[in-house]
Amino acid sequence: MAEIYGTGIGELIIKTEKQYTPATQAIPGVQGQAAIGVEETERISVKLVPVNPKNFIVDPNATSLDDSMGCAIEKFVSVHKIVQGMEEGIYRKVDLGLSSPDDDLEVTEEDNIYQEGRVKLLTYYGLVPKEYLPEFSSKDMVDLFPEDSVADDYADLVEAIVVIGNDGQLLKAEGQPLHDE
């Protein structure tokens, strides 16, 4: 992507995966024999997924990512991946409905564009009001600015990941797990 567009944008995906490795174990009570099989362990997996620049959205008032409130990646994902995420507890269980066609997000120039079995996913990484995240309780918050103040909208912002499906269904909203407070 970087060679084509002149800039490289990537999304880091960090998750825990099962890893299977060959292993042998001595058989208790039997001298000189061992069982051969596989051993299951968990490991942290870090993958870099390239992002097409036309699918990358940044704060229009920012001059760099460090100055922005956040950025988002908009893409189509197979509906089975979203349903699998709902079953695993990654996403909220909501009715997604059907996605509308969006030629701006299409990566191919083919005439035959498949519109079924996919979800338009918007993943936002950035600052959101703390009160909108379920892990922060409102009893711990102290209001420093009056409600009619412009600063009130920006007073209690925390880094978060927000995932929206098909332009309106909130799938996930959680504080940034890698952010040190």
What pLDDT does residue 140 have?
47
* Residue 58 near residue 74 (C-beta atoms within 8 A): no
Phi/psi for 126 (5° steps) reads 165, -160
Q: H or E stretch including 5?
A: helix 2-5
Annotated domain spans of the chain: 1-23+36-51, 52-181
| Residues in the chain where the model's pLDDT stays below 50 | 111, 137-145, 180-181
Classify 20 as helix, strand or coil: strand
Per-residue pLDDT tens for 143-169? 444 556 555 566 678 889 999 998 888
